[in-house]
Amino acid sequence: MTELLVGTKKGLFVLDGDVGTGFDVTARAFPGQSVEYAMRDPRSGRYLASVTSWFYGGRIWVTDDPAGEWQEAEGTVLPEDGDASLARIWVIAAGEADGMLYAGGDPGCLFESHDGGLTWALNRGLWDHPTRPDWTPGGGGLCLHTIVPWPGDPDRLMVAISAVGVWLTDDRGATWRYSNSGIVPEYAPEEARDMPIGHCVHNVRRAGGQPERLFMQFHGGVYRSDDSGASWIDVGDGTDLPSDFGFPIVVDPADPDSAYVIPLIGAEDRTTPGGTVLVWETRDAGASWAPRGNGLPERDAYLTVLREAFDSAGAGTGLELYFGATSGELFGSGDAGANWAPVAAHLPPVYSVRTA
Amino acid sequence: MPLVLLRAPLSELAGGREHALEGATVLEALLALESTCPPVSGWVLDERRAIRPHVNIYVNGQLAREETAVGEADRVHVLPAITGG
């Protein structure tokens, strides 16, 4: 039995089931409000959701029972003497220290919690970075959307911001450095492509069992780093991938050479190529990619899968994969992508999918 | 003192629909609301003490802004804008 937390344009949906027998919606929360992201802290069992009211702004809510009462978390606000207000929280991630959680938001802000998500404080190291005046938003805003801890080491963290790039810290967020070496932003003029920041990273995951390796879905290109994010190499160019554009990326925790992407026709369209839905897999660290689509729509299916709407559970041959689309459809695989089945067909537009 | 009138979910957060509050402007009345009812903090005003873009304030039926003057017996309605999707 797997629990899925599905953030949608019209609330949070909790689904329970498995790919073989199907899933049921077991809870819904925040009807009518955008739930950008929801996750369950594996240490405490607590659920956390980023909820944005069209009217009253964005905030984090927590609960121990998603079908019960939710409590508003405190502290996800920007400095009162500044000129910015919080647009939304994009992502929440468990840290490595006890009770530590991170939340990333727009405009390019990182919040930290030391009490399991009840109270939060702005990370000033990143907020006050001297390059901030040069940061520019991507299509989704100036969103800090990716948070990648280093297993076992709470001092080290990687985050990514669109359209700014990768940021690394080795001192628990006191100081930050950008790290976009090797990433080629082809959307920029040729003479500007070696710019230190301005990179529209879409999503990054750390390889299982090999923490210095990371896989990235970029705005144009799939990249890998083998040196903890210090430099990046293109592992999509020249392969069979039908497009270098996409949003999410997922890895198999049992295989550091694995990654899964869902290519979309580039920035001008952002739908599944040719009306065929395919997940693409590498098992050789990006040297080659192969489609995995048995059971997925083969024709007339023009889906958009957003950056947080793809996740996994388990590992190895039993790796479960789940993704949702803005069409409201949700698909799952229980055998590492070899076969797929519908999980839900008629949800509101899906913003995020996380296994709990 | 002006009377601030709320609808759900703000009324639920504030523990009631009607709140008589001190203040010579809309902003002062809303800050008094936050002070009296802390759970409302951040819902109507953002970090910059600006009315959120999709919240409308009416004083005696007239659309108002932060600096709009309010006085004794004025009715300050806080309403979600007719927007969204």
**How high is the ipTM of this complex?**
0.79
Residues of A in contact with B8 (CB under 8 A): none
- For the segment B3-24, the average pLDDT, to the nearest whole number, is 95
Does residue B85 lie in a domain region? no
Give the CA distances from residue A115 to residues A73, A196, A243, B10, in Å, rounded to whole numbers and listed in that order. Answer: 11, 35, 42, 27
**What local confidence, expressed as pLDDT, does residue A189 receive?**
81
Reduced to 3 states (helix: H, G, I; strand: E, B; else coil), residue A34 is strand
Q: How far is CA A70 from CA A27, A58, A89, A136, B37, in A?
A: 13, 15, 17, 34, 19
Cα R_g (chain B), whole angstroms: 11
Per-residue pLDDT, B84: 53
Mutation choice for B interface testing from A30, A52, A56, A81 by most B CBs within 10 A: A56
Overall average pLDDT of the A131-145 stretch: 91
A55/B54 Cβ within 8 A: yes
**Residues forming a β-bridge with A182:** none
Superfamily per CATH, domain A33-61+70-311: YVTN repeat-like/Quinoprotein amine dehydrogenase (2.130.10.10)
Residues constituting chain A: 356
Residue range(s) defining the domain that contains residue B66: 3-80
pLDDT in the model for residue A139: 82
Q: Does A86 touch chain B (CB under 8 A)?
A: yes
Whether residue A181 contacts residue A168, with contact meaning beta carbons closer than 8 Å, is answered with no
How far is B79 from chain A, CA to nearest CA, in Å?
A: 9
Here the CATH number for the domain that contains residue B26 is 3.10.20.30
Q: Give me Rg for the CA atoms of chain A.
A: 19
pTM equals 0.93
Q: Where are the domains of chain A?
A: 33-61+70-311
| Residue A194, pLDDT score | 87
Domain count of the fold of chain B: 1
Closest residue of chain A to B50, computed from CA coordinates: A85
DSSP collapsed to 3 states, A66-89:
CCCCCEECECCCCCCCCCCCCCEE
Among B7, B11, B47, B51, the residue to mutate for chain A (most A Cβ within 10 A): B47
The rounded distance, in Å, linking the Cα atoms of A201 and A81 is: 30
The arithmetic mean of pLDDT across residues A140-151, rounded, is 95
- Kindly tell me if the per-residue pLDDT of A164 is higher than 80: yes
* Within a domain: B72: yes
For residue A49 the two structure tokens come to 């959701």
Distances (CA, A) of A224 to A112, A176, A177, A231, A319: 27, 21, 19, 8, 21
Amino acid (1-letter code) at residue B2: P
pLDDT for residue B80:
87
pLDDT of residue B83: 59
